[in-house]
Amino acid sequence: MRIATIQRDHCRPDKCNFLCYRVCPMVRTGKETIVIDEELNKPIINEGLCSGCGICVKKCPFEAITIVNLPEEIGDPVHQYGVNGFRVYNLPTLRDGVVGLVGANGIGKTTVMRILSGELKPNLGEDAEWEKIVERFRGKEIQSYLEKLARGEIKAVYKPQYIDSIPKRVKGTVLKILKKGDETGNLDRIIEKLNLENSVHKNIRELSGGELQKVAIAACITKDADIYLLDEPSSYLDVKERLNVARTIRDITDRYVFVVEHDLIVLDYLSDYIHVIYGKPGVYGVISNIKSVRVGINEYLDGFLKSENMRFREEIKFEVRPPREKKEINEILSYPNLERKYDKFELSVNSGKIYAPEILGILGPNATGKTTFVRILAGDVKADNVDLDIELNISYKPQYIKPRKILVKSLKLKPELIEKFGLRHLMEKRVNELSGGELQKVAIVDCLSKDVNIYLLDEPSAHLDVEERLKLAKHMKKFAMEKEVAILVVEHDVLLIDYLSDELMVFDGISGVNGKASKPLDLRSGMNEFLKKMGITFRRDPETGRPRANKAGSVKDREQRGKGEYYYVG
């Protein structure tokens, strides 16, 4: 079955004068394979008449057209956004417990959530009444849910992915806002569980990203609803907060809970079941069968869905690596103990060495001085106790990136990195017009395009989907090896840190009050120290080697605690 999509926001007939129409060999032989919609002033491809030659795909100057062949058994879509629009196939299954969804950005996750919430009535490709929709899913677990949805008997609450705009829509102190919305009488308990006590008396405008995320989650789960839909609950939170949020969401009982999450450790810890959504971003998305969380995430990393017999990507491997021989690498920087005081904050860093090639992961709670340390090395901030004279050149990507008004192509990005990170189509755009994920990738490439010895990346995973995170990790490892440089990475995504890091620095302390940093440790010791402070144990999945958080109090958890093995390497 052939489908043709045109991404309308990319399509610019005013610039190309309908080049696709002019080059299509079928049109030339008089067929109406491509017609021009006079009203929209856009081309329309008739899928039934298209030969799939791919000429228009190659010629379109804005990469707007995609032609794909899908297996017949996939059937009709559940929803399609108009002619040649994006389509999503299949619906998830809802069960008791938490059902997670994992997949790339632009592949239909929000569309699925909008359908489940009742906001978007699926059209089965064209137009459909509820009767037909329910009929389509007869005998499936989702049938009775759809029947209730059709009768308007489902109350859904939704925590959106982008929370930054919340303070523009609601005003006042956090406690007042939350109290007004509380329908469960559980608010005090939730505030305590999410450690929001110090935030609730603030005005919502004064909150940090992490505080705002927790408030949005609290507002969602204190509603009395049939289904709770949470889109990326971990953004802006540190590791401890992520797991804490996961535990709080897991406490919801007798209701449906559906979560989209890109941090695989959090998703794993949070969910009982998983659906994978695969396909091509902006073109189509297919929801897999329901899988147990372990199998689902393993198959996702494997790139192969067993019960569907479907390969959608190459495998991603997690190797358990022994610490490297120091002989293989060069010391490029040795720094002394570092101290830095602000009015309300105090940082002390143990002396250490940085090698090349290496990736040094940096883990720790929010506001314990990670950025300050990085900025001391970069020469942006002076240490109080020593005059650090670093002769090495450092390139730095900050945590918050300024969306400047300049064109992407005016940045001096290295062509090979533009290709690797797939940024070619962004070159003509202005930096301030990019989406969060696009801006992040441009900032990373901008940082790596400088010829220096040390690269510092603060939270490169923010706004990236799980596919992009794993790709980023692969590129960074290769980059460090090939250029023989050191890359320092501050991150809260533990899977990414585990996958990336040769060595690890661990920060500890009271957020906003003080911070203490270890010297760089080998991955195993570093993780062990970090997890001990978090009070959580990790094991490795025997099939993929990926780290998994143990449920508190489980047999494995107690066994590992007993041995002091917080990070079981196997």
Q: Rule CB under 6 A: is residue 400 a binding residue for ligand ADP?
A: no
Q: Which is nearer to ligand SF4, 9 or 131 (CB)?
A: 9
CB atoms within 10 A of CB 35: 13
Among 282, 361, 460, 526, binds ligand ADP (CB under 6 A): 282
The span from the CA of 506 to the CA of 494, in Å, is 12
Question: Residue 81 or 130: which CB sits closer to ligand ADP?
Answer: 81
- Tokens describing residue 297: 């995430």
- DSSP H or E run through 298: helix 293-302
Expressed in percent and rounded to 5, the helix, strand and coil fractions of the chain are 35, 20, 45
At 549, phi and psi to the nearest 5?
-75, 130
Query: Within 10 Å of residue 30's Cβ, how many Cβ atoms?
Result: 7
Using a 10 angstrom Cβ sphere, with 0-12 exposed, 13-18 middle and 19 or more buried, the burial of residue 327 is exposed
Between strands 34-37 and 97-102, the pairing is unpaired
Task: Kindly list the residues in this chain that would bind ligand SF4 in the complex (CB under 6 A).
Answer: 6, 11-13, 16, 18-20, 24, 26, 33-34, 43, 45, 50-56, 60, 62, 64-65, 67
Quote the tokens at residue 246.
């996961």
Q: For residues 49 and 378, which CB has a smaller minimum distance to ligand SF4 in the complex?
A: 49
Q: Mask: binding to ligand ADP, 304-343, rule CB under 6 A, as x and -?
A: --------------------------------------xx
Select from ligand SF4, ligand ADP, none the partner in contact with residue 24, using the beta carbon and a kind-dependent cut-off of 5 to 8 Å. ligand SF4
Residue 345 interacts with, from ligand SF4, ligand ADP, none (CB under 5-8 Å by kind): ligand ADP
Residue 460 preceded by cis peptide, ω within 30: no
Candidates 80-88, 181-189, 445-453, 536-544: pick the segment binding ligand ADP (CB under 6 A). 80-88
Cα separation, 257 vs 113, whole angstroms: 11
Closest separation in Å from C-beta 20 to ligand SF4: 3
372 binds, among ligand SF4, ligand ADP, none (CB under 5 to 8 A by kind): ligand ADP
Report the DSSP pairing between strands 454-458 and 486-490: parallel
d(CA 61, CA 45): 17
Q: How many residues of this chain bind ligand ADP (CB under 6 A)? A: 22
Give the residue, chosen from 106, 210, 296, 361, that forms a contact with ligand ADP under the rule CB under 6 A. Answer: 106
374 with 458: CB under 8 angstroms? Answer: yes
Q: Pick one of ligand SF4, ligand ADP, none as the site partner of residue 16 (Cβ within 5 to 8 A by kind).
A: ligand SF4
Residue 106 binds: one of ligand SF4, ligand ADP, none (C-beta under 5 to 8 A by kind): ligand ADP
**Residue 62 interaction partner, one of ligand SF4, ligand ADP, none, beta carbon < 5-8 Å per kind:** ligand SF4
Cα separation, 433 vs 148, in Å, equals 41
Among 50, 79, 99, 109, the residue binding ligand ADP under the rule CB under 6 A is 109
Contacting residues toward ligand ADP, per CB under 6 A: 81, 85-86, 105-111, 282, 342-343, 345, 366-372, 512
